[in-house]
Chain A
Amino acid sequence: MIELVHVDKRFGENDVLKDLTFRVEKGEIFTLIGPSGAGKTTILRLINLLDDPTTGMILIDGKDTRVSEGERVALRRMMSFVFQKPAALRGNVFQNVSLGLKFRGIPPGEIRQRVTEALGLVGLEDYEEREATTLSGGELQRVAIARALVSRPEILLLDEPTANLDPGSIERIENLISSLNTRFRTTIILSTHDMVQGQRLATRIAVILDRKIRQVGDSRQIFYQPGSREVARMVGVENIFDGTVTANEDGLASITIGSTTIFATCHYPAGTAVTAFIRPEELLLLGGDGMKSSARNTLRGIISRVTPVGPNIRIQVDAGISLVAIITRRSYDDLALSPGAPVHTSFKANAIHVMTRAP
């Protein structure tokens, strides 16, 4: 459906994107995840043909987009783009939402019906007469989504679509995105810095770091088998250790990290230099003697730091290696943990993602 081939984008002296190559298939929800300034917005603008790549090319439906402005308008009319900060044009909400349909020469009767329908989808039924420039950020965001949907695009581009919204509206918009995708097979490309949103919605995720695509995969691959240290950090893998495989018996490897040894399922032979990744949610904390766990790895340590993270608690444990665990507040209270207290940390051998590294 959409294909970027070796796309570079420079603004003056600044590289904004470097050598981007990826494909988005029809009917996919493709999520771009990355920190602010990584180039997500630029990618969406390139796909919407608002900017041109410095080098490389973009294909839409197999067609090269380096064509006349008239043909580009036709390609653009297959898509809608919800900007991160949508702009309100003078006039009321109805005029704002109907603009794209007017450009397409849709008859007034049909415009009225489609605008009403689109505003209903975003929960702004009674807003038609409101002046668009007086709306709050969240309301304008939803008007922008209605303005995008009203033209029934084949491709929907969303730049941080829920960044301005309250939790209730976020849920509504996420449900809307999913249902558009399943009902109309709309291809959706969405950028977000919210990992969890990416995970909830995406068919596939691309991680963008430092102006490059670092990994493309489904959410399981991205979150549990990150392709590099940088991607791992980006997606919240806080336990990253460099070590060496010292033995491997039928796929159960002993990995030595400093003076600590852990067991992980992988096929690398003894002597391989590896990096081990463990998500903090995979760590279990046990008080007392720690014998209750069936997990392969149990390390004794001392709690060095406790930080609340939303409904959860992030606990740093010094167990020869420094481990980070995220547990619920209830478990934290039940275990009567506190900084300085001894604790057992346990995790399964198959919860560890192992990658080779240069020794």
Chain B
Amino acid sequence: MSEIIEGFIQAVELIISLNPEVLEITARSLLISLAATLCASLISIPIGGFIHFRKFGGKRGLITIIQTLYALPTVIAGLFVFLLLSRVGPFGFLGLLFTPSGMIVGQTVLIIPLMVGMTLIALSGVKQSIQDEVVSLGATTTQTVMTIIREARFAILGGVILGFGRAISEVGAAMIIGGNIRGYTRVLTTAIALETSMGNIAFSIALGIILLGIAMVVTVALFLVQER
């Protein structure tokens, strides 16, 4: 028990003293996950819009698949992207395996289904009467889509924040694609896994507190957005 308490005290010291390694890992985690969230947003919101506004066969089935993939295990997303980026894979020539860019790709793939799904929910939350009003006001199809997306912007932003939360907290894809290389691809989650296995409890707890802190900021942001 005393070990844990000691670990906590050391952890707080590491954070307050702005330990360079802790800071570096935190910064890298934020950077990679924010980049992945940005990429996933740019892909997911248009896809969500397309699925919502178009009528096509198999739409219901496609939505069910997307919803199933909300729970896509992070190691499977990691494995999938690993195979794509590995030397013998179709994108091996890009040399992205074991790089931060590769990790961004992995996390992007991981959170796309969640963000497409959240976009769909956000758009179907806009009442039909609003869409009728917009069309009636003389909007072209593109103007209608843009106006409805703007109308759903807070709900869509909620999905984006949720996606970021999933990206920064995942360990499987980061480990498989990044390889947890110190000073290069080591992020909060992979560092916690490694340091704990090496018995470096205080360091793990420090990183854990930071990760929880980020999770809390995300939750508060989500709450504030949904209040709108």
Contacts and interface: CB of A to CB of B under 8 A. Distances in A.
Question: Does A pair with B?
Answer: yes
A99 B134 contact: yes
B138 A151 contact: yes
Interface in A25-77: 45, 48, 50, 69-70, 73, 76-77
Interface in B130-145: 130, 132-141, 143
A90 interface: yes
B135 A76 contact: yes
Contact of A83 (B132, B141, B147, B153): B132
Contacts of B140: 69-70, 73, 103
A81 interface: yes
Interface residues of B, number: 18
Interface in A83-121: 83, 85-87, 89-90, 99-100, 103-104
Nearest to B143: A103
A104 B132 CA distance: 17
Contact of A85 (B129, B138, B143): B129
B132 A87 contact: yes
Given A83-B133, A85-B129, A90 B151 contact: yes
Contacts of A73: 138-140
Interface residues of A, number: 22
B135 A50 contact: yes
B127 interface: yes
- Ordered nearest first, which 8 A-B pairs have the shortest CB separation? A100-B137, A77-B138, A87-B129, A87-B133, A81-B136, A87-B130, A103-B139, A103-B138
21 contacts: A50-B132, A50-B136, A70-B140, A73-B139, A76-B138, A80-B136, A83-B132, A83-B136, A85-B129, A87-B127, A87-B129, A89-B133, A89-B134, A90-B151, A99-B134, A103-B137, A103-B139, A103-B140, A103-B143, A104-B138, A147-B137
Interface of B: 127, 129-130, 132-141, 143, 147, 150-151, 153
Given A73-B139, A87-B130, A99-B134, 14 more contacts: A45-B132, A48-B136, A50-B135, A50-B136, A76-B138, A77-B138, A80-B137, A83-B129, A83-B133, A85-B129, A89-B147, A100-B137, A103-B139, A103-B143
